Structure 1
Amino acid sequence: MENPEVLGKEGKRVVLLGNEAIARGAMESGVGVVACYPGTPSSEVPMTLSDVAQETKSLYFEWSTNEKVAYEVCAGAAWSGVRALTAMKHFGLNVAADSFFPVIFTGVKGGFVVVVADDPLGHSSAQSEQDTRFYYRMGKVPCLEPSDTQESKDLTKLAFEISERYEIPVVLRITTMVSHSAGTVKLGKIRKPKTTGKFVKDLKRYYNIRPNLQVLHAKLIEKLDKIEKEYGMRLNRIEGRGSLGIITSGVSYQYVKELGRLSNVKIAKLNLTHPISKAFVSKFLKGLKTVIVVEELEPVVENFVREVAKDVNSGLKIHGKDIMSRVGEYTPDSVLQAVAPILKLRKPDFRRHDQDLKKIKIPVRKPVFCPGCPHRSTFYAVRKVMGDNVVWAGDVGCYVLGIFEPFEMQDFMISMGASLGLTHGIKKVSKQKAVVFIGDSTFFHNGMPGLVNMARHGTKPLVMIMDNGITAMTGHQPHPGTEIDGMGIRRKPILIEDVARSFGIKNVRVVNAFDQKSLQSAIRELSKKDELCVIVSRGLCRLVMKRNVRAQGGTLTKFKVVNNQSINCKELVKKFACPAMVMKGGKVFIREDVCLGCGVCMQLAGKGDISPIVKGKKEKE
């Protein structure tokens, strides 16, 4: 277990991450089935429950192929009367959306909780600052939002209760700051999960096409109205009193509390953010002269407040996005700076502090591949063979770091698997050379349809599938190509090359990512062919390799620079950019404490310039 405290006894107070608290809440709710695809900032929820499943054998857990499949697995279990949970990042909900909406209409039998983690500022999500709250209004699905770790656990339990009582999926929406903040949690009793059930045929429930579709829709609206009436006043709360008001939810509530004790200000905290209770908001707005809505990203709550205010307090001054940004995440300081003039608070003078900070020159460092990363070797080989005049199609994974110097080999990166479809479109209207970079887990997630489409329609790029044997970027979770599943059970891996060949692609080559000679040779040969070609550049993530070798009592082979003045070695520092290779005083050195022994530098340097210094236990690539 990453954090054994998750399995602590009832009544104990422990420190947990928000995500770990959600996992504990699921355990206290008797969750029987958990299916997820990893996606930061939500990953610790399933990672924790995977550990629990392996250690206790009390529930079923799986790392599904993608979020849509995970959602469907959980829906099937919930249809059969077993409590289920799936967790995903905000983009994952896009993937699951095709099934997300219909299951809300059909409803469920067992409790079904969908944890969705939004990522304002894009800490771990480069593509957009998507606000998923619009999904919940459109889908007519209840949504709870915790503000801290204790609420993360408690609202997870409540979400299961609401879901089972009203036979409807319930969303638990979190953001990065709630997911990855640690706090004290009082543990409750772990409930023994029910892991077996039975699907009962019911055409009136599952026959979701017209004319029954409209019947289901009407029932859904009725459910939502009942939830609003029962929980709208109970779950949300009002603190303080005065003619000035602040209405907020999620982590933004914590920033409001950081303002300190506010006289003549009352605060409304929303825990149920869909449906927002009109009765609760009306009660809060009456008697106010001014209200400030503090919420990150889009003005979802603000728009609702404006609608309600027309009926109950038409002269009310409403502030929201006129004083606070729709971009990025908030901080206690940004909230203070925005509300201080209205609440007549004294703004701290940070000018001297800012001047002191400017005197400190902090080195700027862009993200880099880990030492020994197989992707660095692949990018280097492709660039060496194909030069610069190529369209580099990027995808989502560790290899997104190829966008930075010295490689600069990701011209775009949109969503998981999109590299293939986008390249197909470019190739259909252009004669430009194109290379697709996509990872193993991403290929299984959503890359296969794009490759099928290319094979079907005769598109002819070079597709580099970078197989590092794990879903590395989100914390080393297994995928269909690995031997061990989420329950710790050994499975037969599904080989990427077999999948590609089954699509009718003739030229599929598997190459050791750490063997530069073979890798460059394969790229040189297949890039010249006038047909769709696939190279599976296979090399285990070096961090996994390090862990495996240590577990066997061995050590990784390290390397040293023999000729510190070598021109080749100096070029490698610039063009290969391994963090273990450094230049000091015009000489090149390899830091033994950083080197993970991939050996690619020795292959690329001049003869005798680099050599091994420690022979460890034989490594299995």
Structure 2
Amino acid sequence: MVDIPVKALLAEKGSRVLYMGNEAIARGALEAGVCYFAAYPGTPSTEILESVAEVAEDVGVIAEWSVNEKVAYESAYAAAIAGVRSLTAMKHVGLNVAADIFVSSGYSGTKAGFLVVSADDPSAHSSQNEQDNRWYGYLAHIPVVEPSSVREAYKLVKVALGLSEKYQQPVMFRTTTRVSHSRQYVELEDNVTTTRVCKGVFDKDLTRWVLIPAHARLMKERALKVWRTIEEADWGPPLVEVLNPGKRKAIIAPGLAFAYVSESLERLRAWNEVTVLKLNLTVPVPVKPVLDVAGEADEILVVEELDPVVETNVRSVLGKHRAQARVLGKELIPESGELSLDRVLPGIAKFLGVEYTPPPPLRVEEQATVPPRPPVMCPGCPHRMTFYVLKIAANKLKLRNVVYTGDIGCYTLGYQKPFETQMTCFEMGGSIGVAHGISKVVEEPVVAVIGDSTFFHAGIPGSVNIIYNNGRAMIVVLDNYTTAMTGHQPHPGTGLSATGSRAPVVEITDVLKSVGFRVYVINPLRVRDSVETVVKAFQDYLSGGKVAIVSRMRCSLEAYRLSRETGIRLPIYAIDEEKCTGCMACVNLVACPAIVVPEGAKKPLIVEDMCLGCNLCAHVCPFKAIYVKRPGSEGWERLYSERFVEGVG
């Protein structure tokens, strides 16, 4: 076995490498000659672009974090229509942002291979919904390829790019959380190519690329012709495979569902009782293999995760061709949430008429009590400090009914007590548009809270809209110098590119000022100064001003990382037991996970290993019982406050 280099994405052909699903997709794309990668970070898709960015300079590819999914799609698609193999990646709800160009690209098609990786999130592990993006394939007449495992994801990326190039049509490569974030050993079939095409020529075909209505009607016919060709082709492995043909009962298993079907049949010892149609090309449903299976089976069960997309279209195919097989699906297989063996196996057993008794739960002599662990903001989180400042400033002005509209990010956790500064959360950038609408119909003050990366993603149009339509909402941008929730990726305000090189800084304050806001800047590390500034901002807002606040303080996890890299110590706080009265103000007003109340104790303590020196608890304590136990090194505040800390990568 070949030794694996430090950069596992560059391992030699023949190596056996343990890849995460997203890394496997990235490796397959690099082998297949993709040169342009563009994405916006969003779980569970983030690691695709991250993996490529780590090796981009080594292999000479373009890897970019775009400001949002729409721009990422447009950029990668543009390269593809100029003849350069390209890939864009996003989480499922990100495709909503790119839906306009997605549907239009289905009309015009592509020149070089172009993949749209949609990482869906069944059970909404890290999302506001669990939409099934296979429907988008039908909407745009764009085929959808789905892998059933990490290993298959690696292989099928190359197949899907070939499919895209053959039919000159974008292809959606749909994964789910379980494929994107599982790990599996992958036998590498090829080396990362050194002969990729990274320069193209744009063919000025105005009829194809300029979608005025007359051209769009022609391009719709082009898309339909490609669609029907793919639908009616005689597909075989690896996209379509019929296992154990000729049985009276059949199961159609698209994508990841095949893994659960396979294991269920093994557990039931029923592989010989049923034909299995394994579909990796799930949109459009391939007609011939479906009809072949239906010609021999009396009953067909479609096992798929989330919506009955394949089931609906299998029913359509069979109805159109007057096939007699009975189709079952969501009668036996759950329609919401992730599939699992426990959720699939009973339905398959019932379909096959096989007796199945679930195993009894494991008996545990002594049941351990696991305390609940709701998500919380990290120790030292600047959002906690900003929310505290906002609430104190509002209280000073006796503003008791402020409406705080929220957005997507770590700061969404501000909906919890004691802050309750996120009262809505729908989609990226939604806080500002929602705040504007509410401000038009209520008398209370309305404050839109949005993160820095989210502001660049989708907050700028809403900000312009407030000025244009004379809105009453105030904007608060939480600038922590990173895209924290998805793993600290850079954005246009950080001064760094996807590959870590310096990039121009787009100042949020300049953007807001340029459209007509008066901007107040705070550093919430300095609590008293920040409260005074926010009071002034509220007063300005209440007198009719168009006001925005930018709260600048680095993510505490990043500050801690910089502390270790530079040797600059952050301060550590402790509680003086003699001065502490047990009033619990620090617990109830700060909600920092570093402050705990041991079982049976009447006074809190600070877990020193968790304290990151933000000082909010010391500010809150009415009895001055919280003190600096270990002072920070000289200049420690700059780790929290400065965009660039020299001497650090």
| TM category, shorter | over 0.9
Is 1:35 the counterpart of 2:49? The answer is no
| 1:501 corresponds to | 513
Task: Give 1:324 deviation, angstroms.
Answer: 2.1
Which has the higher mean CA deviation after the structures are superposed, 16-25 or 234-243?
Answer: 234-243
Q: In 2, Cα distance between the equivalents of 1:501 and 1:316?
A: 65
Fraction of identical pairs, as percent: 40
Is 1:616 the counterpart of 2:633? The answer is yes
Encode CA deviations 1:193-251: one digit per residue, 9 max, x unaligned: 22222222112321322322222111112222333344634421111242221111121
Q: In 1, Cα distance between the equivalents of 2:516 and 2:498?
A: 31
| 2:107 corresponds to | 105
Q: In 1, Cα distance between the equivalents of 2:392 and 2:467?
A: 27
| 1:604 corresponds to | 620
Contact 1:462-1:526 at 8 Å conserved across structures: no
Task: Give 1:407 deviation, angstroms.
Answer: 2.2
Q: In 1, Cα distance between the equivalents of 2:207 and 2:377?
A: 54
The one of 434, 443, 453 aligned to 1:422: 434
Change (3 A) 1:326 1:520: same
Amino acid at match of 1:610: Y
Q: Secondary structure at the match of 1:184?
A: strand
| 2:539 corresponds to | 528
TM-score when scaled to structure 2?
0.91
| 2:567 corresponds to | 553
Contact 1:233-1:277 at 8 Å conserved across structures: no
Change (3 A) 1:146 1:563: same
Change (3 A) 1:349 1:170: closer
Q: Secondary structure at the match of 1:454?
A: helix
Amino acid at match of 1:336: L
Change (3 A) 1:116 1:614: same
Q: Secondary structure at the match of 2:504?
A: coil
Q: In 2, Cα distance between the equivalents of 1:349 and 1:297?
A: 23
Task: Give 1:357 deviation, angstroms.
Answer: 9.9
Which has the higher mean CA deviation after the structures are superposed, 1-10 or 153-162?
Answer: 1-10
Change (3 A) 1:561 1:220: same
The one of 443, 447, 453 aligned to 1:431: 443
Contact 1:564-1:589 at 8 Å conserved across structures: no
Amino acid at match of 1:390: V
Q: Secondary structure at the match of 2:115?
A: strand
Amino acid at match of 2:470: G
Task: Give 1:548 deviation, angstroms.
Answer: 1.7
Which has the higher mean CA deviation after the structures are superposed, 489-498 or 306-315?
Answer: 306-315
Which has the higher mean CA deviation after the structures are superposed, 362-371 or 455-464?
Answer: 455-464
Change (3 A) 1:512 1:560: same
Is 1:305 the counterpart of 2:305? The answer is no
| 1:254 corresponds to | 259
Contact 2:580-2:625 at 8 Å conserved across structures: no
Encode CA deviations 1:589-615: one digit per residue, 9 max, x unaligned: 111111122222222224353224143
Which has the higher mean CA deviation after the structures are superposed, 167-176 or 224-233?
Answer: 224-233
Amino acid at match of 2:248: S
Q: In 1, Cα distance between the equivalents of 2:627 and 2:581?
A: 12
Q: In 1, Cα distance between the equivalents of 2:482 and 2:355?
A: 52
Amino acid at match of 1:248: A
| 2:390 corresponds to | 382
Contact 1:285-1:313 at 8 Å conserved across structures: no
Is 1:236 the counterpart of 2:240? The answer is yes
Task: Give 1:557 deviation, angstroms.
Answer: 2.2
Change (3 A) 1:3 1:85: farther
| 1:79 corresponds to | 81
Encode CA deviations 1:451-494: one digit per residue, 9 max, x unaligned: 11111122222211101100010111000001111132212211
Which has the higher mean CA deviation after the structures are superposed, 458-467 or 565-574?
Answer: 565-574
Amino acid at match of 1:611: V
Change (3 A) 1:95 1:109: same
Q: Secondary structure at the match of 2:440?
A: helix
Task: Give 1:308 deviation, angstroms.
Answer: 2.5
Is 1:571 the counterpart of 2:573? The answer is no
Amino acid at match of 2:310: V
Encode CA deviations 1:498-521: one digit per residue, 9 max, x unaligned: 10000111x211110222112211
The one of 197, 200, 219 aligned to 2:222: 219
| 1:456 corresponds to | 468
Is 1:10 the counterpart of 2:27? The answer is no
Contact 1:233-1:279 at 8 Å conserved across structures: no
Q: In 1, Cα distance between the equivalents of 2:422 and 2:324?
A: 53
1:290-439 matched pairs, under 5 angstroms: 290-310=299-319, 314-353=323-362, 359-387=367-395, 388-439=400-451
Task: Give 1:57 deviation, angstroms.
Answer: 5.1
Q: In 2, Cα distance between the equivalents of 1:163 and 1:565?
A: 70
Contact 1:18-1:178 at 8 Å conserved across structures: yes
Contact 1:557-1:612 at 8 Å conserved across structures: yes
Task: Give 1:350 deviation, angstroms.
Answer: 4.5
Change (3 A) 1:403 1:94: same
| 1:95 corresponds to | 97
Q: In 2, Cα distance between the equivalents of 1:458 and 1:28?
A: 53
Q: Secondary structure at the match of 1:488?
A: coil
Q: In 2, Cα distance between the equivalents of 1:486 and 1:252?
A: 34
Which has the higher mean CA deviation after the structures are superposed, 566-575 or 177-186?
Answer: 566-575
Amino acid at match of 2:300: V
Is 1:512 the counterpart of 2:523? The answer is yes
Amino acid at match of 1:378: T
| 1:118 corresponds to | 120
The one of 58, 62, 65 aligned to 2:64: 62
Which has the higher mean CA deviation after the structures are superposed, 211-220 or 176-185?
Answer: 211-220
1:133-172 matched pairs, under 5 angstroms: 133-172=134-173
Which has the higher mean CA deviation after the structures are superposed, 250-259 or 83-92?
Answer: 250-259
Change (3 A) 1:307 1:9: same
Encode CA deviations 1:519-559: one digit per residue, 9 max, x unaligned: 21122221123222111011001111111221223332222
**Count of aligned positions:** 617
Q: Secondary structure at the match of 1:25?
A: helix
* RMSD over aligned Cα atoms: 2.1
Contact 1:21-1:152 at 8 Å conserved across structures: yes
Q: In 2, Cα distance between the equivalents of 1:569 and 1:159?
A: 62
Q: Which runs of 5+ in 2 are unaligned?
A: 642-649
Contact 1:549-1:617 at 8 Å conserved across structures: no
Task: Give 1:174 deviation, angstroms.
Answer: 0.6
Encode CA deviations 1:31-73: one digit per residue, 9 max, x unaligned: 111111101100011111111114x151111111100001111
